[in-house]
Amino acid sequence: MWSSAGRVCVSVRFPAPNGIAFPRNVTSAQPRELPWSWERSTGWRGQYERLQRWRARFLKAGPDDVELLFDLALVFFTSSYHLRDWLERDDPSIQPALDDLFSTSAPMRLSADIANIAKHLDLTRPPRVGRQLSFAREYVPGHQGWFGRDARLVVLTGGEKIDVLDLTAKCETAWTAFLQEHGRV
């Protein structure tokens, strides 16, 4: 353990995907202005409810504002992936179950990759599904689109084309099932 510029850093061993532990320095929580803060008051449940609100906003957005729709999609997937951190921080013993969720659920792996692309522009680690995914606007005839009146937003990954609207539903459903399975909701 060492201190630098008022921060306390601890060397911790994190398991790599192959099961071998490797050291990584982790900065502990910084001193807070108040002992408890608004963002912490609802814990992981607040993060779960945020991802639900972001999806609701996404579903309510009009089809003509494609920039807003894309922004809301990215925020949803980022909130979805960050729920993992909130749950793990609340109860570290849930990590193996979270690892299993993200290794067995394709929608959850995609949400993790989308969140990391939203943060870094490109993935900084190997993608969880095939190659780095791409977003594309696909034509939908007869003004039946939701991403512009004549299109839908899709994720292209591993030779598949996945409607982003469907993917948000699958992620929210996966989280709800996981939380129910683990007695959280």
If asked whether residues 156 and 71 sit together in one domain, one would say yes
If asked whether residues 105 and 168 sit together in one domain, one would say yes
**What is the full DSSP assignment across 116-136?**
HHHHHSS-SS--SSSSPPEEE
In a domain, 44, yes or no: no
CA–CA separation, 81 and 91 (whole Å):
16
- Measured in whole angstroms, the distance separating CA 105 from the mean position of its chain's CA atoms is 13
Domain coverage including residue 10:
1-28
Going by the DSSP 8-state scheme, the letter that residue 159 receives in this structure is: T
Of 80, 87, 88, whose CA–CA distance to 109 is shortest? 80
In a domain, 54, yes or no: no
Residues 29-83: tens digit of each pLDDT: 678 787 777 777 788 999 999 999 999 999 999 888 999 999 999 999 999 999 9
Terminal-residue alpha carbon distance, the chain: 38
Count of domains observed in the chain: 2
In a domain, 34, yes or no: no
If asked whether residues 161 and 92 sit together in one domain, one would say yes
If asked whether residues 20 and 88 sit together in one domain, one would say no
In a domain, 53, yes or no: no
Give the burial class of 102: count Cβ atoms within 10 A of its Cβ; 0-12 exposed, 13-18 middle, 19 or more buried: middle
Residues 6+ apart with CB under 8 A from 65: none
In a domain, 49, yes or no: no
Residues 72-94: tens digit of each pLDDT: 999 999 999 999 999 999 999 99
Do residues 49 and 17 lie in contact, with contact meaning Cβ atoms separated by under 8 Å?
no
User: Which pLDDT band holds residue 139 (cuts at 50, 70, 90)?
Assistant: very high
Residue 17 reports pLDDT greater than 90: no
**What is the full DSSP assignment across 54-119?**
HHHHHHHS-TT-HHHHHHHHHHHHHHHHHHHHHHHHH-GGGHHHHHHHHHH-HHHHHHHHHHHHHH
Bridge partner residues of 158 (DSSP): none
